[in-house]
Each structure stands twice: as structure tokens, then as C-alpha cells.
């Protein structure tokens, strides 16, 4: 259903699984010829790769909406993925989790997290691949083209998988599991790879070494639970919508600057090294603007644009719950409304401090209004930003692999979005974490008409092969 969500998985898990299938098909080739042979296999079978992707795309799932039917779809895909990994010869452990208690009292089951291991040879480096399966159930048999093979000696690394189904809903329960498995599943892991985002250009691959965090706030203004008729009550009430609009209007100015006192104090200044890295990045501003269908961005230079996506926090107002949101006209005075906004945090910003600053600011604004309504602010999601050390071995291996497959140097970039698990993995396991994206800048993730190019998908599969080989050499 959601092309991007499948794209994330396709560009990562699918490409990887199909590559591995190829690797196991090839019976005892000389190590030096492995990569060529794999590339050939991928090229020859690319229609099948695309067909499998097509089947995955056709399937609906969603971890964000707390609906039992959709939740069941995630369980189904977790079971299918486990099955697929088992066919590949991996040892798979499905970790069952406690139910999730929603704010409205509803209880929903949380899909299991899969831990899988493919290869366990101490002399080889162990790469742990993290992926999430939200919005990616499978409706039909996955159509393996051959009988399953068991792992052959040709694979130059051991591979582990950790797959969850609740990333889009904030990775419920994953952190706890990582903590629990720190000294078991993760003990022999050397590198953790995540492939869940995009390049900054259409043609130049990128490595991602940082992501913004996210703090999501709800601010409720309540007069009473029932709505009012604006004819009967308009003019004598502190209307909750007027209060809420003033609160939301106090957060950010028209130049994108956040108006919450102290919020920028937590940032570190831009280094000379960083500035240089921004200069070499392959970003065609005009093309970026056109592909985004945005008439004009807030900034005119590549450096300004990128720093405001990666190095500065941003605040977005997402919407209002409880007001009139249908088409047409309704003269209601909503009695209780909830405004929703979030702040993307950059490295070195502290979540608790941000929460405190936001609450203090909103309380001050509300207090000045002298309204008889009740206001309540809560931070409902708090996800840390993440930044990695780009001198780590796997970054060097990935750079080489990119040169091999694409013939260019990768853009060393950050991501304005939040992949909270990167920071979680890094903090808990103390292992090197890298993001290896396969999708192009114009894939339009999380929006209408999202897509992934066939080229990115097929070459991405090759990139995994080259990366594993380089890693085994450098390790």
C-alpha cells in the first residue's frame, strides 16, 4: 500500500534477502569472482526482484493507527519474514512482547521482534542489519524461485537481523529488547546497519552519519467536553480554538525561527570540517526545489538549506484534533481541542530540557491570555538525535563499496528525519552504527506518490554484496 514504507524495506531487507539467495545459489565460486557472479545474478534476476517488490507493495499495513485489523497485518508480516529467514537457513527467534496500553484505555497487542542469525564464524566480522516491517505484510506466497539452500561458505560476513513492526509508531518495546540482548544477541555483533532513508541527490549515493531527534507535543485546551453552537455562545466564551491558535502561533515565526526561549542554546556551533563537507555535497538546489514542488524555500544556498535540515532544530504544526475538520461549513465552537506539533532535535539537544522549555513557554503564553479554559501540555514522543563517528571501519568499507558499484564518492550526509533506533543501538550496544540508504532524493517518502527507482533497488542489492566483501577485508 505505502510504496515508501515498502521502499524502505525493499531497498534494504528485500534487496539483502534476494542478494543472499543469489549468494547461496552460487556453488563454490572462487572468492575473487564472487562479486562479479553476484552482480551477474542480480542483473539476470532483476525482473524477479521487481516482481517480489511489487507483491510486497500490494499489501496494506500500518503501525500508527491503533486499529486491531492493521495490527494483525503486522503480526502476519512478522511471521512471513520469520519464515523467509528460516528458508534462507537463518536461526530465527521471535520475541513476544507485552500489549500496548493506549492513552484512551484501549489495549493492543505488540507484534514480536525478530532476532535472526545467518552464519556464526568467529573469524568473520558480524554485521547486524536492522529493519522494520511496518506497512509491509505479505498477501501471497512469496514465490521463491528455487528450493531453499543452506548457507554456504562463500558469504564473507556473518549476518544478524533484528526486525520490528512498530517503528512508525515509535519503536514500542525495541529499546527494552536491545537492552536485554546487549550481552547475548549483540555480544558478537561488530557493525549495525540501518537502511531507512534517502540520498540527497538522484544519482550520487550517500552515507548517513546523523539524524535529528523528535519531541512530539500535544497541547489541549478545554472549556467543556461538549461543543457549543456559535450562535448561542459566540461572544461570551473564551473559545478554546482562539486560545489554541494563539498558543500554536507563539511557537515559530514566519522565517522558521523557533520562538521558545532557550531552545537554540543547546546547539553546538558548526565546525570548519562540517562546513567543508557541506560544500562537496551533490545537491542541485533548483532540481531539489522543482522535485519538491515548492515554489520557494526559506533559504537560497545549499549550505543554509542543509544546516537548517540537519544542524538546526525545526518546529512543525501538524494539526488540531477535536475541531471541525470536514469539508463544508459548520458553525460549531469546539469545546475541547488538542493541538499537535513537534520539534526536530539536533545533536546535543537534551529532550528533558526541550520538554521543560516548551511547557514553560506555553504556560507563559496561556497565562497572559487570562483565559478561563484549562490547558494541558504533554510530550508524547521523545526521540533522541543521533550522530556517528565517520572514521569507523564500516564507513570506510561502505565508501569503497560505493566506489565499486557506482564509481563515485558518496555524499556524507545527515538526515533531518528521526530514526530513533540508531541512537538506541549506539547508546546501549556501544557498537558502530551506520545508515546505508538506497533510495534517491525524489522518492517522496511518507507522502503521496512515493516511489523507488528500479535502478536504486537493483544496484542497491549489489551494494550490499560489495559492502560485505569490503568489510571482510578491512575488518
- Shortest Cβ 374–a copy of itself spacing (Å): 8
Please classify residue 183 by burial: count the beta carbons closer than 10 Å to its beta carbon, then call 0-12 exposed, 13-18 middle and 19+ buried. Answer: exposed
Candidate ranges 76-84, 224-232, 350-358, 395-403; the one touching a copy of itself (CB under 8 A): 224-232
Site for a copy of itself, residues 21 to 60, rule: CB under 8 A: none
Q: How far apart are CA 181 and CA 116, in angstroms?
A: 12
Number of alpha helices (DSSP H) and beta strands (DSSP E) in the chain: 15, 17
Indicate whether 69 belongs to the interface with a copy of itself (CB under 8 A): no
Tell how strand 113-118 and strand 100-101 pair up. unpaired
- Shortest Cβ 428–a copy of itself spacing (Å): 23
- Closer by beta carbon to a copy of itself, 63 or else 461: 63
- Shortest Cβ 440–a copy of itself spacing (Å): 13
Q: How far apart are CA 257 and CA 308, in angstroms?
A: 10
- Closer by beta carbon to a copy of itself, 157 or else 362: 362
189 Cβ contact list (under 8 Å, min separation 6): 126, 127, 128, 160, 429, 431
Q: Do 49 and 38 form a contact (C-beta atoms < 8 A)?
A: no
Q: Do 324 and 228 form a contact (C-beta atoms < 8 A)?
A: no
Residue 91: strand pairing partners: 117
Identified binder of a copy of itself from the candidate list 27, 32, 226, 280, rule CB under 8 A: 226
Q: Which residue has the cell 565508501?
A: 399
Site for a copy of itself, residues 298 to 357, rule: CB under 8 A: 298-299, 305, 308-309, 312-334, 340, 342, 344
| Closest by Cα among 397, 399, 396, 421 to 408 | 399
- Shortest Cβ 444–a copy of itself spacing (Å): 8
- Closer by beta carbon to a copy of itself, 151 or else 248: 248
Site for a copy of itself, residues 409 to 438, rule: CB under 8 A: 415-418
- Closer by beta carbon to a copy of itself, 52 or else 197: 197
List residues with catalytic annotation: 134, 167
Identified binder of a copy of itself from the candidate list 3, 216, 278, 425, rule CB under 8 A: 216
Candidate ranges 108-116, 287-295, 391-399, 404-412; the one touching a copy of itself (CB under 8 A): 287-295
| Total interface residues for a copy of itself by CB under 8 A | 91
- Closer by beta carbon to a copy of itself, 248 or else 402: 248
Handedness of CA 446, 131, 16, 144 (dihedral sign): negative
Identified binder of a copy of itself from the candidate list 40, 65, 301, 389, rule CB under 8 A: 65
Alpha helices by DSSP H, listed for 91-195, are 174-181
Site for a copy of itself, residues 375 to 414, rule: CB under 8 A: 380-381
CB atoms within 10 A of CB 293: 7
C-alpha cell at 450: 512515493
| Closest by Cα among 410, 30, 377, 443 to 204 | 410
- Shortest Cβ 323–a copy of itself spacing (Å): 3
CB atoms within 10 A of CB 240: 29
- Closer by beta carbon to a copy of itself, 229 or else 473: 229
Site for a copy of itself, residues 240 to 259, rule: CB under 8 A: 241-243, 245-246, 248-249, 251-252, 254, 256
- Closer by beta carbon to a copy of itself, 149 or else 297: 297
Alpha helices by DSSP H, listed for 292-419, are 302-310, 351-369, 393-406
- Shortest Cβ 285–a copy of itself spacing (Å): 11
88 Cβ contact list (under 8 Å, min separation 6): 17, 20, 21, 24, 118, 148, 151
Site for a copy of itself, residues 164 to 203, rule: CB under 8 A: 170, 198
- Shortest Cβ 10–a copy of itself spacing (Å): 18
Q: What angle do CA 24, 156, 50 make, to 5 degrees?
A: 45
Annotate each residue in 129-168 with x if it binds a copy of itself (CB under 8 A) or - if it does not, as one string. ----------------------------------------
- Closer by beta carbon to a copy of itself, 22 or else 170: 170
Q: Do 457 and 15 form a contact (C-beta atoms < 8 A)?
A: yes
Tell how strand 113-118 and strand 91-95 pair up. antiparallel
Site for a copy of itself, residues 93 to 122, rule: CB under 8 A: 104
Amino acid at each position: 500500500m505505502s510504496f515508501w514504507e515498502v521502499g524502505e524495506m525493499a531497498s534494504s531487507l528485500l534487496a539483502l534477502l534476494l542478494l543472499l539467495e543469489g549468494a547461496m545459489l552460487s556453488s563454490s565460486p572462487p572468492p575473487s569472482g564472487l562479486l562479479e557472479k553476484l552482480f551477474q545474478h542480480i542483473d539476470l534476476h532483476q525482473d524477479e526482484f521487481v516482481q517480489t517488490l511489487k507483491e510486497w507493495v500490494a499489501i496494506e499495513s500500518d503501525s500508527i493507527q491503533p486499529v486491531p485489523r492493521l495490527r494483525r497485518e503486522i503480526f502476519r508480516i512478522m511471521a512471513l519474514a520469520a519464515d523467509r529467514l528460516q528458508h534462507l537457513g537463518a536461526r530465527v527467534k521471535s520475541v513476544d512482547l507485552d500489549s500496548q496500553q493506549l492513552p484512551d484505555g484501549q489495549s493492543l497487542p505488540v507484534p514480536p521482534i525478530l532476532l535472526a542469525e545467518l552464519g556464526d564464524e568467529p573469524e568473520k566480522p558480524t554485521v547486524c542489519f536492522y529493519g522494520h516491517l511496518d506497512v509491509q505484510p505479505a498477501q501471497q506466497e512469496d514465490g521463491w524461485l528455487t528450493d531453499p539452500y543452506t548457507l554456504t561458505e562463500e558469504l564473507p560476513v556473518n549476518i544478524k537481523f533484528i526486525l520490528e513492526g512498530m517503528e512508525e509508531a515509535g519503536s514500542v518495546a525495541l529499546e527494552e529488547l536491545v537492552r536485554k540482548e546487549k550481552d547475548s544477541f549483540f555480544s558478537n555483533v561488530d557493525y549495525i546497519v540501518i537502511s531507512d532513508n534517502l540520498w540527497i541527490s538522484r544519482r550520487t549515493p550517500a552515507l548517513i552519519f546523523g539524524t535529528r531527534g523528535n519531541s512530539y507535543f500535544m497541547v489541549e485546551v478545554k472549556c467543556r467536553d461538549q461543543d457549543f453552537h456559535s450562535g448561542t455562545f459566540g461572544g461570551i466564551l473564551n473559545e478554546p480554538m482562539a486560545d489554541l491558535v494563539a498558543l500554536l502561533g507563539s511557537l515559530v515565526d514566519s522565517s522558521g525561527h523557533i520562538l521558545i526561549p532557550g531552545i537554540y542554546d543547546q546547539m553546538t556551533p558548526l565546525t570548519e570540517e562540517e562546513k567543508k563537507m557541506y560544500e562537496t555535497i551533490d545537491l542541485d538546489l533548483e532540481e531539489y526545489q522543482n522535485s519538491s514542488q515548492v515554489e520557494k524555500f526559506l533559504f537560497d544556498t545549499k549550505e543554509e538549506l542543509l544546516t537548517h535540515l540537519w544542524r538546526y532544530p525545526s518546529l512543525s504544526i501538524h494539526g488540531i484534533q477535536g475541531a471541525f475538520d470536514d469539508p463544508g461549513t459548520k458553525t460549531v465552537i469546539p469545546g475541547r481541542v488538542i493541538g499537535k506539533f513537534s520539534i526536530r532535535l539536533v545533536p546535543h539537544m537534551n529532550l528533558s530540557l526541550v520538554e521543560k522549555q516548551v511547557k514553560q513557554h506555553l504556560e507563559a503564553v496561556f497565562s497572559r491570555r487570562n483565559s478561563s479554559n484549562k490547558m494541558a501540555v504533554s510530550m508524547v514522543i521523545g526521540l533522541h538525535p543521533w550522530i556517528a563517528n565517520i572514521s569507523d571501519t564500516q564507513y570506510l568499507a561502505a565508501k569503497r563499496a560505493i566506489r565499486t558499484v557506482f564509481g563515485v564518492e558518496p555524499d556524507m550526509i545527515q538526515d533531518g528525519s528521526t530514526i530513533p533506533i540508531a541512537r538506541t543501538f549506539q547508546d546501549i550496544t556501544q557498537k558502530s552504527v551506520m545508515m546505508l540508504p538506497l533510495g534517491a532524493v525524489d522518492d517522496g517518502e511518507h507522502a503521496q506518490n512515493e516511489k523507488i527507482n528500479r535502478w536504486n533497488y537493483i544496484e542497491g542489492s549489489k551494494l550490499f554484496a560489495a559492502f560485505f566483501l569490503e568489510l571482510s577485508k578491512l575488518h
